[in-house]
Amino acid sequence: SRMLLPRNISLSTGHLPEALGGAPPPLRPNVINPYGRPYRYWQMFLIVLVAYSAWASPFELALEKAVSRAHLVVDLVVDVFFCADIVVSFFVAYRDRSTDLLVDDRGKIAVRYLTRPWFVLDVASTIPLQIVYQLVRGKKNGPCGFLILLRLWRLRRASKLFARLEKDTRLSYFWTRFIKLFCVALFALHCASCVYLWLAFHYRDKEQTWIGSLRGDFKERSVWFAYTYAVYWSMTTMATVGYGDLHAANTGEKLFSILFMLCNMGVACYVIGNMTNLVVHGATTTFRMRDMVDQVARYGKANRLPAWMREQMVESVQLRFQMAELLLPDEVLSELPKAARSAVAQHLYKATVEDCYLFRGASDNLVVQLVSEMKAEFFPPKMDIVLENENPTDCYIIASGQVFVMRIGPHGMAGEIGVMLNIPQPFTIRSRTLTQVIRISRSHLQNTVRPATADGDTIFSNFVQYLESLKVRHGEELTFARDVGHDT
Amino acid sequence: SRMLLPRNISLSTGHLPEALGGAPPPLRPNVINPYGRPYRYWQMFLIVLVAYSAWASPFELALEKAVSRAHLVVDLVVDVFFCADIVVSFFVAYRDRSTDLLVDDRGKIAVRYLTRPWFVLDVASTIPLQIVYQLVRGKKNGPCGFLILLRLWRLRRASKLFARLEKDTRLSYFWTRFIKLFCVALFALHCASCVYLWLAFHYRDKEQTWIGSLRGDFKERSVWFAYTYAVYWSMTTMATVGYGDLHAANTGEKLFSILFMLCNMGVACYVIGNMTNLVVHGATTTFRMRDMVDQVARYGKANRLPAWMREQMVESVQLRFQMAELLLPDEVLSELPKAARSAVAQHLYKATVEDCYLFRGASDNLVVQLVSEMKAEFFPPKMDIVLENENPTDCYIIASGQVFVMRIGPHGMAGEIGVMLNIPQPFTIRSRTLTQVIRISRSHLQNTVRPATADGDTIFSNFVQYLESLKVRHGEELTFARDVGHDT
Amino acid sequence: SRMLLPRNISLSTGHLPEALGGAPPPLRPNVINPYGRPYRYWQMFLIVLVAYSAWASPFELALEKAVSRAHLVVDLVVDVFFCADIVVSFFVAYRDRSTDLLVDDRGKIAVRYLTRPWFVLDVASTIPLQIVYQLVRGKKNGPCGFLILLRLWRLRRASKLFARLEKDTRLSYFWTRFIKLFCVALFALHCASCVYLWLAFHYRDKEQTWIGSLRGDFKERSVWFAYTYAVYWSMTTMATVGYGDLHAANTGEKLFSILFMLCNMGVACYVIGNMTNLVVHGATTTFRMRDMVDQVARYGKANRLPAWMREQMVESVQLRFQMAELLLPDEVLSELPKAARSAVAQHLYKATVEDCYLFRGASDNLVVQLVSEMKAEFFPPKMDIVLENENPTDCYIIASGQVFVMRIGPHGMAGEIGVMLNIPQPFTIRSRTLTQVIRISRSHLQNTVRPATADGDTIFSNFVQYLESLKVRHGEELTFARDVGHDT
Amino acid sequence: SRMLLPRNISLSTGHLPEALGGAPPPLRPNVINPYGRPYRYWQMFLIVLVAYSAWASPFELALEKAVSRAHLVVDLVVDVFFCADIVVSFFVAYRDRSTDLLVDDRGKIAVRYLTRPWFVLDVASTIPLQIVYQLVRGKKNGPCGFLILLRLWRLRRASKLFARLEKDTRLSYFWTRFIKLFCVALFALHCASCVYLWLAFHYRDKEQTWIGSLRGDFKERSVWFAYTYAVYWSMTTMATVGYGDLHAANTGEKLFSILFMLCNMGVACYVIGNMTNLVVHGATTTFRMRDMVDQVARYGKANRLPAWMREQMVESVQLRFQMAELLLPDEVLSELPKAARSAVAQHLYKATVEDCYLFRGASDNLVVQLVSEMKAEFFPPKMDIVLENENPTDCYIIASGQVFVMRIGPHGMAGEIGVMLNIPQPFTIRSRTLTQVIRISRSHLQNTVRPATADGDTIFSNFVQYLESLKVRHGEELTFARDVGHDT
């Protein structure tokens, strides 16, 4: 029951804007695009400095004596760069959540940045407290030594970077995640080593420390010597190897070791869980393929199907998985808006359908509507596409590859005689090479091609001509009802 | 084939109770609501005491000499509180399973509490056995020392707390579970340490114990010194680090170590399994998003779709996941009763639909029925909503955001011309910003808006007026069939 | 298009066998039912002997000197029992795979047992080779000492037991599997310990062995002393703790340790994998519940639904999961044969439907057919069952619980006025307590209750009477079409 | 609305090629089939040589003094074989990706091989650099000693082998994957051992090495002595046992140990993840079965169904899983092309259907179309197949097994009286033994068997004859409408 049945309608489309879907509008001058190249490079450069800060801050805290003048200069330079980034932040456009568009108004940008809680932390982590303290008091690392850890706030950038990389579909999720876990492990290792060093250097009796009980002269030797020992021990503990050549020698060390091992257990479980997840997920497709092939093979064996039938079945299942990226599964298709799906189908199949003898001369409208319901399918060599005597439920357009029996080469069709005449398929049609076909169901074809219309007549006469040519070629009689379109 | 077709029916609704769905009835005086604030705080306070009991009971058993008078007083105070809880239990309402309502009859409450098996254990774990024994015999910790472990029955409260927290949807399941596993690990660590201490303090030759072989003076030193050693060793074993600086020195210790390691293996596997589960589950959404985006991107690449088409596809898939919490997937919807679904749809869409030009003046009944089948959908900026020449299967109401071509601003519509006239969509309509639309399928619209009814006429005249205004605006001819409603 | 439309048909059912579905026929005399109690107990008793064999065989091989006369006697007694089982096997019926029936023909039983490959191994593992050898040669444990390991063939019984227990749905899969993994771990531990003992006792220089380097007198001390050391070391290695107080001291021990650690890694991974699997699987339901509730809660919050609506939604989702075992999900239902589903539906709903005023006096046939499509549903207290103005798509029979508005108590109905009169539901109906309803869809009701039949008339007159009684009660006018059944 | 309704059509099928689906065409002479036996054996032989290279290359690099003349000769022989394989590669056909056919043109084969990047590496890894260097310079292992690691390129073959084996459905995926992981672990172990040996042999102060601190004479003893120590230590570290009897003694060793432990953590997680995946996947079917049976059992218990009904339900669910390999689930079927599905159904069910009394004399066309929608189903003994008074929705052909009530033995039917007469099923039919039936739905039967056709008449007269014979047998009256085919 349709509500309205107008035959002709014309509405003005003259008011379409020319720039429909054009390039994004340029941002105002002096405002930086957060997705542009220059800003990306600047961010990548800052990440390198973040890595340095993450390494240097705990190290400087643990080994005050190692903090040379050169060290302080490097720290100062790094601080200057982060200071520059604070300034730059006032010029970077941001994406508004309610409209999903970029905002390039500098007033709004500044208000947004200043009202976020991390602005304060950004500033606090940039002030070179150590130098300020030294200038004021004339001493190195006074009571506010721990303030150096404020710099670890910069790690937020690394965390944001990984969050972005994980969503970037050009990168492998497995490796992004793997590297993230690896970096976290390395940082934990470094921190634990620094704590161990701090414990060793601050304990009153150096013989009663983890390193001093083995190497009494550790305070006199190079910083790197003690650092290697500390990393070695932390690693031994973290990997739960626990050789025992180095071990906690006093109560403070024992307490930290307990804490470290507790954390490690949590982290180890978390890492194992993550790896399992990644591995499981990576293997999903392989497993699905193996499962299907196994099921088909077992079914063939249990039902004692002939060998060629079993091979055909296994090969076609395998081909589906090989060709998986050329096809979209239904659950993904259903997530796309209808307009996008139509656009894709038109792009892929329209030319092929228009090339096909049956639809030559058909209107654009008809082709668009036929195409929207078409599905691509692949057949390995020597596989039946249409079986003699089968119900005529589908019609196939051969998009590429070669088939036996009726005709060879692309843009031929298969199964259309059964479908058009509504008789059991008169021939078996079999692929000769790897063949791609486009499938139209009989019901969709019949619903779209209405008999008493211009398109219906065109298509029917195309089909009659073709049958005539077949008759001529094979010198045989073809009998069929002439009352096309009058039998509904 | 409908059974009955009455046109007008009126049934009394005057006997509706006023308090339909009002507040829950108040409980009787002197009965405590188990879901009320005061009882919750009381329970939380008891949990703290449970934690103390769990720590103190094994400790007191292992180190009798450590049990000072102050210790006994604290134990006694704790016991008094648990005694109070037994009394309170006689006043707390409970939920009846067959009606799902609270029972506040004190007789029933008492009968229920007294007939449950754990009443006996509640009482037994509250009697201060140690003090009783001391008063009677005048000795500390006689043969019934192990009875102190009866207090561990109180851990049942902690287990119930976690069971409840895990079901509480306001808390993160990951962290609830994580903290539970952590607490179990800590308790196991503490118990093992206490057993090791007991073994060391009760072995005849103190040089042949795990601690005595290193520190012969451990019995003379503070209790905490030995306890730190014990926890350190237990932790070393539990985390499978096994430095070896402390190790079993006699057969009894060896046997307990074997047992402890065996249990640990089971626990470790269980913990790893749990973590994997939590991690896997937490990452499900991320993986689904990555998978879909990957599939769409690979499909676009494999089929050599133009870049803008690939971007549109990827963006719309990503938007679906960003907007996930604004939409309910079908499998969740199907779990809700029909009445609840209708109520939600009315709350969300009714105002928007009534605001819409096409449905102005339509009856409430019609709007309610239209609304019950509507679905919200989101489009990123620059995305096609309706494509020219597409089949007219859906009609969209723009709830928020802006679109190109026809009209701008909320409460406009899209696709209604194609749907109402049943012609291929005459325009492409494209979003300008992030756009929320409400979709009605053509079939539902046509089934609900029956031609020869008052509502049908209203809506049709709305549509005609709109088309006329378009004609006036664009100075063009619109031809369509006037025989509305007569062609079914 | 129905093929045949007979009105009355009567076929003889007098030839139905009386014992249709009766008890299984008794087995022949002197044949044992493998599923009977006595045989089960016999098998359980043998499992205990298997456990002894599994422990004793490697032990005897490793510590020949420990093999006392008492030991040999116990071994002999065990062998006699296994010998008896071989004899018993000739009298135990077996299940034929092609018919799924028990075969109790002793000839067939004997042939089947004798032709299976394990008959030979059953016999070989029962011959007391050690004693035979001793009698023949007069020496203990000659070159064929390793033949004692043939007895480990008996472990096949344990493996079969676990396979059966895992399929037994009365036992928890988690614990069955857990105990199996635990037993495997214990056996591996015991075997490794025995190998270590053998290595220590057979090495030329006893100071250069893992135990001798610590305890030079180990050969003089009790067997259990050395065994405890061996188990302790194996356990330390297996749990990857590796204290290092005991460690490989010569090349042979080093090689075996390498092998043992390699195997352990495989086993550990396998065990962790299994535990993860069990844990993941056990938590599936909890996760599904949490997920749904979370999604509903987030949806309510994101769309700013009123608090009472959000609570209603969350409560009804939670109730679904609490009542899960009273309902079967569709994917399980589809695995049951149709006849079984019908039988269950009749058992559950027939009495309730027959009790219902609308179907009083209806034929049995009708009730059976109505019942086959019914679904049970639960509503928490204060939840809308039917909403005013909703489409009349479902009719509810209240099986238990109480509802507001229309009537109270079981066997009432809800929504039938809207459904029968095909008008928007005239009332809101809300549950007062936990309510179980049985849902019939309008379309199924209308298809089954055909207008011009005896059943149709009965049901219609029931309904009219009820409406009249309502009118009388409320003194109002009810107008509806009288032309029932003539409007299709 | 069918488009065309021809009654008779005949098209020539005389031009079908005789070799339709015959054997693959033979390859040209002197071209080797990559899937043939001889080439497979050659590849397997090369894999053995790859294993040797993987072992020998790091070993030779670490222990130059161990490289005897015999060693060099073996290496040379191995190199000759790999050289031969390069030559052979020019004669092996390859599969073209676009047509999925074998290419046997030697020109194309050569071009393809020469243009691939690995051709250079194949050649480079075959040149016996060591010997070349020795001949030129007269010294063993000069500065280019590390070039020996080029031979590890050959491992690519092992990796390709495993990739192929994992896809080979004749092998268990679990074991293929397990062995792969095991080989990787062994290779890592060997490499680490070689590095440790290299470190020990090249450190200036041999007392300050991991082995020298225990065994000062290690340089004088056999190579295998040191190698055993190295493998033992690596294994201890890899399995995270870490006894501590061997441990890093200088900074170089400490650094490598840190690196090795870091890698191990990654590898361990990866291996555990893989194992979990394999175990989880292997247990999927068991879990699904357990779950379904559990759900059915719990449902039966919660709803207090009679015991026999619960048993019937549980048994039929269990049977479904036992018979799983005889049936294909729908999601696998949908992956097979329609023609393949039809061919399988014809092979399995055609003979049974033709044998059936109802379809005797029916045309081949009809049988083919009936068969394409048939499904097999299994019933355990004593299970209801058709229930009295049930809706007549399905008709069953008994393919094997025995049923009660109507008839016994294969090729009988069940439920056809209800279906053909469209009355509630007049009898209950119950299986006597394990029974396989083929199910046809009533709607498909009625759509395929059109009344006024030759086939329709044949089937109807078959049915009437059968009913008559029943009447004669039971001396009762059967009344049914004679106007078959005229009531649609």
> Rounded CA gap, A108 and A102, in Å?
11
Q: Strand, helix or coil at A346? A: helix
> C271 CA to chain D: closest CA distance, Å?
9
- pLDDT of amino acid D335: 82
- Over the stretch B387-418, which tens digit does the pLDDT of each residue have? 777 777 888 888 887 776 543 333 466 677 77
Q: Is B288 exposed, middle or buried (0-12, 13-18, 19+ CB in 10 A)?
A: middle
Q: Which residues of D touch B245 (CB under 8 A)?
A: none
Q: How many CB atoms are located within 10 Å of the residue C479 CB?
A: 9
> D149 CA to chain C: closest CA distance, Å?
26
Q: Which residues of A touch B422 (CB under 8 A)?
A: 2-6
Q: Which residues of C touch A276 (CB under 8 A)?
A: 276
Q: Which residues of A touch B478 (CB under 8 A)?
A: 9-11
Instruction: Kindly give, in sequence order, each residue whose CB lies less than 8 Å from that of residue A295, ignoring residues fewer than 6 positions away.
Output: D325, D328, D329, D332
Chain A residue with CA closest to C273: the answer is A276
> Rounded CA gap, D475 and C187, in Å?
71
Of residues B397 and D476, more confidence is placed in B397
> Rounded CA gap, C210 and A382, in Å?
67
Q: Do residues B334 and C355 make contact, with C-beta atoms less than 8 angstroms apart?
A: no
**CA A113 to chain centroid:** 30
Q: Do C244 and A240 touch (CB under 8 A)?
A: no
Segment C103-107 long-range contacts (CB within 8 Å, at least 24 positions apart): C104/C27, C104/C28, C104/C31, C105/C28, C106/C28, C106/C30, C106/C31
Does residue D10 carry a pLDDT above 70? Answer: no
From residue B388, give the alpha-carbon distance in Å to each of A114, A364, B297, B429. 46, 12, 25, 8
- Over the stretch D213-227, which tens digit does the pLDDT of each residue have? 888 888 888 888 999
Range(s) of chain C covered by CATH 2.60.120.10 = 336-482
Q: Do residues D299 and C326 make contact, with C-beta atoms less than 8 angstroms apart?
A: yes
CATH of D336-482, picked from 2.60.120.10, 1.10.760.10, 2.60.40.10, 3.40.1410.10, is 2.60.120.10
- Over the stretch D298-343, which tens digit does the pLDDT of each residue have? 888 888 888 888 888 888 888 888 888 888 888 888 888 888 888 8
Instruction: Give all chains having 3 or more CB-to-CB distances under 8 Å with chain B.
Output: A, C, D
Does residue B233 carry a pLDDT above 90? Answer: yes
> Rounded CA gap, B185 and B183, in Å?
5
> A140 CA to chain B: closest CA distance, Å?
35
Q: Which helix (H) or strand (E) holds D308?
A: helix D307-322
Mutate one of C236, C261, C276, C279 to test the A interface: name it (highest A CB count within 10 A).
Answer: C276
Does residue A138 carry a pLDDT above 70? Answer: no
Q: Do residues C169 and D318 make contact, with C-beta atoms less than 8 angstroms apart?
A: no
- pLDDT of amino acid A3: 30
Report percent pLDDT > 90 for chain A: 18
Q: Do B244 and D240 touch (CB under 8 A)?
A: no
Angle at CA B146, nearest 5°, toward B141 and B149?
A: 120
Closest CA to D60 of D222, D181, D223, D209: D223
Does residue B133 carry a pLDDT above 80? Answer: no
> Rounded CA gap, C240 and B240, in Å?
6
Average pLDDT over residues B211-221: 86
Q: How many CB pairs under 8 A join C and D?
A: 242
Of D231, D243, D391, which has the smallest distance from its Cβ to C372's Cβ?
D391
Does residue D84 carry a pLDDT above 90? Answer: yes
- Over the stretch C138-162, which tens digit does the pLDDT of each residue have? 655 555 567 778 888 899 999 999 9
Instruction: Kindly give, in sequence order, each residue whose CB lies less than 8 Å from that of residue D143, ignoring residues fewer than 6 positions away.
Output: none
Q: Do residues A237 and B241 make contact, with C-beta atoms less than 8 angstroms apart?
A: yes
Range(s) of chain B covered by CATH 1.10.287 = 172-325
**CA D214 to chain centroid:** 51
Of C11, C266, C340, which has the smallest distance from its Cβ to D384's Cβ?
C340
- Over the stretch C458-478, which tens digit does the pLDDT of each residue have? 888 888 888 777 766 554 444
Mutate one of A1, A2, A4, A175 to test the B interface: name it (highest B CB count within 10 A).
Answer: A4
Chain D window 224-263: which residues touch C at a Cβ cutoff of 8 Å?
Answer: 225, 228-229, 231-232, 235-236, 238-245
Instruction: Kindly give, in sequence order, each residue whose CB lies less than 8 Å from that of residue D340, ignoring residues fewer than 6 positions away.
Output: A309, A312, A313, A316, A383, A384
Chain C window 331-360: which residues touch D at a Cβ cutoff of 8 Å?
Answer: 332, 335-340, 342-344, 347-348
> Rounded CA gap, A173 and B293, in Å?
12
- Over the stretch A87-108, which tens digit does the pLDDT of each residue have? 999 999 998 877 778 888 889 9
Q: Do residues D420 and D456 make contact, with C-beta atoms less than 8 angstroms apart?
A: no
Q: Which residues of D touch C244 (CB under 8 A)?
A: 242-245
How high is the mean pLDDT of chain C?
80
- Over the stretch D274-285, which tens digit does the pLDDT of each residue have? 888 888 888 888
Q: Which residues of A touch D241 (CB under 8 A)?
A: 241
DSSP state, residue B431: B
Tokens of A418: 């059964």
From residue B475, give the alpha-carbon distance in Å to each of A11, A17, B357, C54, D21. 10, 19, 22, 98, 66
Instruction: Give all chains having 3 or more CB-to-CB distances under 8 Å with chain C.
Output: A, B, D
- Over the stretch B73-112, which tens digit does the pLDDT of each residue have? 888 899 999 999 999 999 999 988 777 788 888 899 999 9
Closest CA to B197 of B221, B225, B227, B217: B227
Chain C window 11-70: which residues touch B at a Cβ cutoff of 8 Å?
Answer: none
Q: Which residue has the tokens 């097994």?
A: D401
Does residue B132 carry a pLDDT above 80? Answer: no
- Over the stretch C332-387, which tens digit does the pLDDT of each residue have? 888 888 888 888 888 888 888 888 888 888 888 888 888 888 888 888 888 888 87
> Rounded CA gap, C241 and A335, in Å?
51
Of A11, A15, A242, which has the smallest distance from its Cβ to B426's Cβ?
A11
> Rounded CA gap, C376 and D373, in Å?
32
What is the crossing angle of helices C173-202 and C251-282, to 10°? 180
> Rounded CA gap, A336 and B190, in Å?
56
Q: Which helix (H) or strand (E) holds D164?
A: helix D155-167
Angle at CA A377, nearest 5°, toward A375 and A378?
A: 165
Complex ipTM, two decimals? Answer: 0.78
How high is the mean pLDDT of chain A?
80
Closest CA to D322 of D215, D241, D434: D434
Q: Which helix (H) or strand (E) holds B439?
A: strand B435-441
Q: Which residues of D touch B244 (CB under 8 A)?
A: 243-244
Q: Which residues of C touch A241 (CB under 8 A)?
A: 242
Tokens of D456: 């329709």
> Rounded CA gap, D325 and A205, in Å?
73
- Over the stretch A24-50, which tens digit does the pLDDT of each residue have? 567 788 889 888 889 999 999 999 999
Average pLDDT over residues D80-95: 92
B375-379 and A102-103 beta bridge pairing: unpaired
Least confident of B360-369, C126-135, D97-106: C126-135
Does residue B331 carry a pLDDT above 70? Answer: yes
Given CB atoms, is C270 within the 8 Å cutoff of chain B?
Answer: no
> What is the SS3 string spanning A84-151?
HHHHHHHHECEECCCCCCEECCHHHHHHHHHHCCHHHHHHHCCCCHHHHHHHHHCCCCCHHHHHHHHH
CA dihedral B246, B248, B250, B252 (to 10 degrees): 140
Chain C residue with CA closest to B96: the answer is C434
- End-to-end CA distance of chain C, in Å? 18
Q: Do residues D123 and D148 make contact, with C-beta atoms less than 8 angstroms apart?
A: no
Q: Which residue has the tokens 């397990």?
A: D178
User: Given its phi and psi angles, is residue A100 left (phi above 0), alpha (psi -120 to 50 degrees) or beta?
Assistant: left
User: Given its phi and psi angles, is residue C21 left (phi above 0), alpha (psi -120 to 50 degrees) or beta?
Assistant: left
Instruction: Kindly give, in sequence order, each residue whose CB lies less than 8 Å from that of residue C342, ignoring residues fewer than 6 positions away.
Output: C368, C372, D387, D390
User: Per-residue confidence at C6, pLDDT binned at 50, 70, 90?
Assistant: very low
CA dihedral D346, D347, D350, D352 (to 10 degrees): -150
From residue B225, give the alpha-carbon distance in Å to each of B187, B215, B219, B229, D363. 19, 11, 10, 7, 95
Q: How many CB atoms are located within 10 Å of the residue C107 CB?
A: 7
Closest CA to C121 of C89, C99, C77: C89
- pLDDT of amino acid A23: 47
CATH of D172-325, picked from 3.30.70, 1.10.287, 2.20.28, 2.60.40, is 1.10.287
Of C244, C272, C276, which has the smallest distance from its Cβ to A244's Cβ?
C244
Does residue A132 carry a pLDDT above 90? Answer: no
Q: Which residue has the tokens 């030979």?
A: C120
Q: Which residue has the tokens 């490598």?
A: D256
Chain A residue with CA closest to D247: the answer is A243
DSSP state, residue A431: B
Alpha-helical regions (H) of A246-386? 251-282, 284-302, 307-322, 330-333, 338-355, 364-371
- Over the stretch D393-449, which tens digit does the pLDDT of each residue have? 888 888 887 776 643 333 466 677 777 777 777 777 888 888 888 888 888 888 888
Q: Do C276 and D279 touch (CB under 8 A)?
A: yes
Q: Is A83 exposed, middle or buried (0-12, 13-18, 19+ CB in 10 A)?
A: middle
Largest CA distance in chain B: 112
> Rounded CA gap, C338 and C333, in Å?
9
Q: Is B416 exposed, middle or buried (0-12, 13-18, 19+ CB in 10 A)?
A: buried
Does residue C487 carry a pLDDT above 60? Answer: no
DSSP string, D112-129: HHHHSTHHHHHHHTTS-H
